[in-house]
Amino acid sequence: MPDTHSEELLREVAALPSLPGVYRYFDADQQLLYVGKAINLKKRVSSYFQKNHGGTRIGHMVSKIVRLETTVVRSEAEALLLENNLIKTLNPKYNILFRDDKSYPYLKMTGVAPAAKRSTKAIAGVADLQATGQMDATVHGEKSGSTATKPALPGPGSFTRVSYYRGAVDKRHHYFGPYPSAWAVKEAILLMQKVFRLRTCEDPVFSNRTRPCLLYQIKRCSAPCVGHISVSDYANDVANAEKFLRGDAQDVMRTLETRMITHADKLEFEQAAELRNQVAALSNVLHQQSMDNVEDRDVDILAVKVLGGKACVNLAMVRGGRHLGDRPYFPVHVDEAIGFEEDDSPSMLNTTVEVQVLEAFLAQHYIHVPMPATLVLSERVSKGLLQALSEQTGVRVNAVHQPREQRRAWLEMAQTNAALQLARLLAEEGSQQARTRALVEALDLPLEELSDLRVECFDISHTAGEATQASCVVFERHAMQNAQYRRYNIDDITAGDDYAAMRQVLTRRYGKLAESLNAAKHSGQTPAGTGRMPDLVLVDGGKGQVAMARQVFESLGLDLALIVGVEKGAGRKVGLEELVFADGREKVYLGADSAALMLIAQIRDEAHRFAITGMRAQRAKVRVGGGKLEEIPGIGPKRRAKLLQRFGGVRGVALASAEDIASVEGISRDLAEEIYRALH
């Protein structure tokens, strides 16, 4: 093995320190092959070059190494953190990689503060109004017979709001979760409404109510907006809701029962009846929660299944003693990475693929996600990893490999779900691979590996010539590659000229690539960073669009056989499309049941969807002048969306005062004044 590597590389390996760190291997094209961590860099890296790995995957990878980079760190925990940050950022070929999914959703309680800090003045004010009966008279005008103005009630900041939330947390609020899905959060919010009758309305709606809304009528809200509940009583409901979410349901039940008896003893039967209804609702919820377990508050259950070169890690979450559901994860590079994810310790040199996948998930998943104190795992993982995770997260991790009783039931459920999700994935991929094979055979494409087929599809979208955009979507490795999609704003053409738009987008897409490829033909060397032409270029259109694409490819010196137009059939019915070729071949109708046509239609429809959404966004930006907001420093798409949603458009923002603008979540006082100045 050493004979295949340069002396410079081997000298660099021999000079490595015996310290913990992270190493990275690169091939001749400067592509990252592998990222690994080591307790002892010298010992770990040397093992790759001193052993004869034969024709194994690890031997195949080692044979490609031409350059090495290392980073020394202070501890194994630091090495673990750096390794997995690099893996998620750089996407090396021979590492098991769990791609970033959407951030986890949370249940958010706004402005929750200790009871001692709440406004006693506001509480007294509401109590006085309720005691004198003025509140109902002034709000509804029933006793006074007039439309009297609404009294100065406590504002929305005095009454905690429950809402769905996804994003960075704010210390001013309380967050519960994370939850495995948006559905789980919405179920929890519905529970907060049914049992504790907490408000979900936004602050502007709250501030402008003069009578209770429908949620009050169906007993899903206590109507704090119109003073039907005091700040202190509402605060008690919020405190009980927080206890329930943390798993103290029985304590909440006992507290409510005690308060109910107290009110009954004082002959306050109306208040006692309200608490009785609350106790009944909570009791009903607890009976429905068959997974309730008072001993386990926060637990993550992880089960892994590997089959056919694919893997699934099923993560089930228990929060506050309640099973919230699960979520499957499918890593990439599993087949290529088998045999690499090993620790320095002798006990870990022959780990199974399941253990490798599970350890990769643990190391990558909990970098930015809160970690519970208890993990129930389908495989036994290394103690070093658990210790490093404990140091990294600041949580003492207790991993259970062979659980009993309720934990065992949870794990068996997670294992069943992992197997079902993986079977579904393999079935879908098998179907997609069959479609890919059918397309390659139908068009007689010269490919050795089906997964190498790359298709790029273009579509033009506009409304009567307004906000013309072209889309390019990419199909590769049997799937649509969303990260490689591109939109092109089309300028300097006659409004509605789709042919000119197609000429412009194809020239912009392939112009520089064609120059690089033509230069490589003359020099015999391909410049570093040069991309590859697709194996098929689909154009949504018939002879006219194909003729335009032919002109562009001829001018660029590209192969005309790559261009295929998708011409709609009679009546524009799906399944009647015909394929039009730029190289002179006759049109082809594959048949409505053709797997190849199904794949082409799938790619074409995705290009159309992507173009339509981009065009609509561009058109809306032009019509409402939304771009003016984004030109203000500090205003990005999220803040712009919040402003437009609050004030109904840029005109509404322009009419608002700096104080009103500052009331929008995420907008500081200084930024609000900057926005006001920019729009005036």
Please indicate, yes or no, whether residues 498 and 545 belong to a single structural domain of this protein: yes
> Which pair of tokens denotes residue 242?
């927080």
Is the domain of 83 the same as that of 140? no
Structure tokens at 509: 């897409």
pLDDT, position 620: 56
Three-class secondary structure of residue 604 per DSSP: helix
- In sequence order, what DSSP letters do the residues of 416-429 get, joined into one string? HHHHHHHHHHHHHH
More confident residue, 280 or 676: 676
Count other C-beta atoms under 10 Å from residue 130's C-beta: 15
- pLDDT band at residue 630 under the 50/70/90 scheme: low
Among 71-85, 379-393, 541-555, the range with the most confident prediction by mean pLDDT is: 541-555
Rounded mean pLDDT of 133-150?
A: 40
Instruction: Check whether residue 465 and residue 371 sit in a common domain.
Output: no
| Rounded-to-integer distance, Cα 276 and Cα 261, Å | 9
Bigger pLDDT: 665 or 367? 665
Is 168 found in the same domain as 46? no
DSSP H helices, 366-453, are 383-393, 405-443
* Of 97 and 505, more confident: 505
* pLDDT over 60 (residue 260): yes
CA distance 446 to 42: 46
Based on its alpha-carbon atoms, the radius of gyration of the chain, rounded to whole angstroms, reads: 31
Q: What is the pLDDT of residue 248?
A: 73
Burial (CB count within 10 angstroms: exposed 0-12, middle 13-18, buried 19+), residue 390: middle
* In a shared domain, residues 582 and 461: yes
Q: Is the pLDDT of residue 139 over 80?
A: no
On whether both 391 and 344 belong to a single domain, the answer is yes
Alpha-carbon torsion angle 47, 48, 51, 52, nearest 10: 170
* Cα–Cα distance, 391 to 580 (Å, whole number): 61
Is 428 part of a structural domain of the chain? no
Residue 1 pLDDT greater than 50, yes or no: no
Neighbour count for residue 99 (Cβ, 10 Å):
12
Are 174 and 161 a contacting pair, CB within 8 Å?
no
Q: Which residue has the higher pLDDT, 515 or 620?
A: 515
- Tally of helices (H runs) and strands (E runs) in the chain: 24, 18
Q: What is the mean pLDDT of residues 255-265?
A: 79
| CATH number of the structural domain spanning residue 31 | 3.40.1440.10
Contacts of 341 (CB under 8 A, 6+ apart): 95, 96, 351, 356, 359, 360
Compute the average pLDDT of residues 527-535. Answer: 72
Q: Same structural domain for residues 69 and 117? A: no
Burial 226-259 (b: 16+ CB within 10 A, else e): bbbbbbebbbbbbbbbbbbbbbbbeebbebbbeb
The CATH code of the domain that includes 661 is 1.10.150.20
Domain span at residue 36? 2-90
| pLDDT tops 90 at residue 97 | no
Residue 353 has pLDDT above 50, yes or no: yes
Please say which residue of 247, 262, 281 terminates a domain.
Answer: 247
Query: 616 and 480 in one domain?
Result: yes
Of 90, 117, 148, the position where a domain reaches its end is 90
Residue showing tokens 């004044």: 673
**pLDDT for the residue numbered 518:** 79
Kindly state the DSSP code that residue 543 receives in the 8-state scheme.
H
Domain-located, residue 273 = no
Domain count, the chain: 5
Q: Give the pLDDT score at 617.
A: 67
Q: Quick one: 540 and 648 in the same domain? A: no
DSSP-assigned letters across all residues of 612-625: HHHHHHHHHHHHHT
Residue 146 has pLDDT above 90, yes or no: no
Do 209 and 309 share a domain, yes or no?
Answer: no
For 551, the enclosing helix (H) or strand (E) is helix 543-556
Across all residues in the chain, what is the average pLDDT?
Answer: 79
Asked, for residue 274, whether it belongs to a domain, the answer is no
pLDDT(596) > 50: yes
pLDDT of residue 485: 92
Q: Give the mean model confidence (pLDDT) for residues 317-336.
A: 81
**Is residue 442 in some structural domain?**
no
Q: What is the dihedral of CA 153, 159, 162, 163, to 10 degrees?
A: 60
Same domain, 31 and 176: no
Higher-confidence residue of 351 and 476: namely: 476
CA torsion, ordered 642, 645, 646, 649, to nearest 10 deg:
110
Q: What is the mean pLDDT of residues 504-514?
A: 91
From 59, 90, 121, give the residue that closes a domain.
90
Examine the pLDDT at 127 and tell me if it is beyond 80: no
531 within some domain: yes
Residue 347 has pLDDT above 50, yes or no: no
**Residue 375 resides in a domain:** yes
Q: For residues 591 and 656, state if they share a domain.
A: no
24 vs 281, higher pLDDT = 24
Q: What is the mean pLDDT of residues 2-22?
A: 83
Q: Answer whether residue 538 is part of any domain.
A: yes
26-30, 119-123, 160-164, 335-339, range with greatest mean pLDDT: 160-164
Give the pLDDT of residue 530: 60
Question: For 591, left (φ over 0), alpha (ψ -120 to 50), or beta?
Answer: left
The CATH number assigned to the domain holding 487 equals 3.30.420.340
The reply to whether 448 falls in a domain is no
User: Does 449 have pLDDT greater than 90?
Assistant: no
- Secondary-structure percent of the chain, ordered helix, strand, coil, rounded to 5: 50, 15, 35
